[in-house]
Chains A and B, each alone.
Chain A
Amino acid sequence: MSRLAIAMDIGTSGLRAQALDLSSRDIISTVITTRHPLPGANVIDHIHFALEIGLETANRIIIQAVNRIILELHINTEKVVRLAVCGNPIQLSLFQGIEIRDLAFAGKRKLESLGVVSPEREAVITATRNIPGLNLPAGCDVIIPPSVCHEIGADSLAMIIQTGMLEKDETSLATDYGTNAEMALLHQGRVFTGSTAAGPALEGQQISCGMLAVPGAVSDLNSDISCQRLIVLDSEMIPAEGPLVDMSDGSVIDAGSGVRPIGITGTGTLAIVLQAMESGLILLPCIRTMDSRLHLTGDIFFTEDDLMNAGKAIGSVRAGHITLCREAGIGLDDIRTAYMSGASGTYVDPVKAQKLGMVPPRVKTVFQVGNTSLSMARDLVFDLSKLDLMSSLADKLREHHCLFAASDTFKKVFILELSYWTEGMPISMYRKFLKKYGFPDLPPPGATPEIVHTVKRDIDDLGRMGLTIIPDIGGKVRATMEGCTACMNCVEECPENAITIIQEADSAAVTLDQSLCSGVACRRCERVCPHKCFDLSRFFCITSEELATPWE
Chain B
Amino acid sequence: MKLSSSMAYGSSAEMMFGFARKPVETKQGLTIGGGYVIPEIVPHPRPGSEKTIKTLLREFERANFDALERCVMVGHPHLVVENEHVYQMTANPGWGGEIAAQSVRQTLEFKDKYGLKSAYRSTIADIRKPDMVNLRDSEPTSKVLESFNECAKYSDIISIESLGGKEISDYSLIRNDITGLLFAQAVLGGRDMEWLWSQIVKIAKKHDCIAGGDTDCAQANTAMFMAGGFLSKDIPHTLAALSRAISAGRTLVAYECGATGPGKDCAYENPVIKAITGVPISAEGKTSACAHPDLCGNVMGAVCDLWSNEAVEYNNMFGGSTSAVFAEMLGYDTAAMNSAISLGYQKEYQACLVNSDRYRGPHGFMLCPDNAWLIGKAVVDNNESMYTRARAAADKCGKLMLGDPLLRMTAFEKESLLSYMKEMQSLPDKEEDFIDLCLSKYGKVKGFKPASYGL
Give residues in A with beta carbon < 8 Å to B: 224-227, 244, 246, 248, 251-254, 279-281, 288-290
Contacts and interface: CB of A to CB of B under 8 A. Distances in A.
Contacts of A253: 444-446
B174 A225 contact: no
A313 to B, nearest CB: 27
Contact of B175 (A244, A254, A279): A279
Contacts of A280: 175-176
A60 B400 CA distance: 77
Q: Which of B174, B442, B443, B446 has the most CB of A within 10 A?
A: B446
17 contacts: A225-B440, A225-B443, A226-B444, A226-B445, A227-B445, A246-B171, A246-B446, A248-B171, A248-B174, A251-B447, A253-B445, A254-B444, A280-B176, A281-B174, A281-B175, A288-B234, A289-B174
Best-surrounded residue of B234, B442, B444, B445 (most CB of chain A within 10 A): B444
Contacts of B442: 225-226
Interface string B434-451: 000000111111110000
Contacts of B443: 225
Given A226-B175, A254-B444, 8 more contacts: A226-B444, A226-B445, A244-B444, A248-B175, A252-B446, A279-B175, A280-B175, A290-B174
B441 A226 contact: yes
B437 to A, nearest CB: 12
A302 to B, nearest CB: 16
A225 B441 contact: yes
A294 to B, nearest CB: 12
B174 A288 contact: yes
Interface string B160-191: 00000000000100111000000000000000
Interface of B: 171, 174-176, 234, 440-447
Contacts of B444: 224-227, 244, 253-254
Contacts of B176: 280
A298 to B, nearest CB: 12
A254 B443 CA distance: 12
A280 B442 CA distance: 16
A226 B439 CA distance: 12
Contacts of B171: 226, 246, 248
A280 B176 CA distance: 9
Nearest to A245: B446
A252 B445 CA distance: 9
Nearest to A280: B175
Contacts of B440: 225
A532 B92 CA distance: 62
A434 B400 CA distance: 43
A118 B176 CA distance: 58
A290 B235 CA distance: 11
B410 to A, nearest CB: 16
Contacts of A227: 444-445
A281 B443 CA distance: 20
B175 A251 contact: no
Contacts of A254: 444
A418 to B, nearest CB: 23
Contacts of A225: 440-444
In order of increasing CB-CB distance, the 8 nearest A-B pairs are A251-B446, A225-B444, A253-B444, A253-B446, A227-B444, A246-B446, A248-B174, A280-B175
A297 to B, nearest CB: 12
B413 to A, nearest CB: 15
A280 B423 CA distance: 16
Contacts of A289: 174
B443 to A, nearest CB: 6
B116 to A, nearest CB: 45
Contacts of B174: 248, 281, 288-290
Contacts of A226: 171, 175, 441-442, 444-445
A246 B444 CA distance: 9
A279 B445 CA distance: 14
Contacts of A246: 171, 445-446
A228 to B, nearest CB: 10
A288 B412 CA distance: 15
A281 B441 CA distance: 17
Contacts of A248: 171, 174-175
Contacts of A288: 174, 234
A424 to B, nearest CB: 13
Nearest to A250: B446
Nearest to B171: A246
A224 B440 CA distance: 10
Contacts of A279: 175
A53 B59 CA distance: 70
Contacts of B234: 288
A529 to B, nearest CB: 45
A443 B442 CA distance: 34
A20 to B, nearest CB: 47
Nearest to A224: B444
A252 B174 CA distance: 18
A156 B305 CA distance: 78
A332 to B, nearest CB: 31
A253 B446 CA distance: 5
A248 B443 CA distance: 17
A226 B234 CA distance: 20
Nearest to B131: A251
A225 B442 CA distance: 7
A288 B234 CA distance: 8
Contacts of B441: 225-226
A492 to B, nearest CB: 34
Contacts of B445: 226-227, 246, 253
A253 B444 CA distance: 7
A251 B440 CA distance: 19
B15 to A, nearest CB: 38
A225 B234 CA distance: 23
A52 B176 CA distance: 54
A289 B445 CA distance: 16
A229 to B, nearest CB: 10
B439 to A, nearest CB: 10
B226 to A, nearest CB: 9
A2 B256 CA distance: 88
A244 B446 CA distance: 10
A481 B51 CA distance: 54
B70 to A, nearest CB: 39
Nearest to A279: B175
A224 B441 CA distance: 9
Scoring A226, A244, A281 by chain B CB atoms within 10 A of each residue's CB, the highest score goes to A226
A507 B279 CA distance: 82
A290 B440 CA distance: 26
A227 B445 CA distance: 7
Nearest to A290: B174
Nearest to B234: A288
A227 B447 CA distance: 13
B232 to A, nearest CB: 12
B351 to A, nearest CB: 40
A279 B171 CA distance: 12
Contacts of A281: 174-175
A467 to B, nearest CB: 34
Nearest to B446: A251
Nearest to B172: A226
Nearest to A229: B444
A290 B174 CA distance: 8
B255 to A, nearest CB: 34
A195 B308 CA distance: 67
B234 to A, nearest CB: 7
B450 to A, nearest CB: 14
Nearest to A227: B444
A281 B173 CA distance: 12
A311 B171 CA distance: 27
A156 to B, nearest CB: 43
Contacts of B447: 251
Nearest to A251: B446
A248 B446 CA distance: 11
A289 B440 CA distance: 24
A279 B175 CA distance: 8
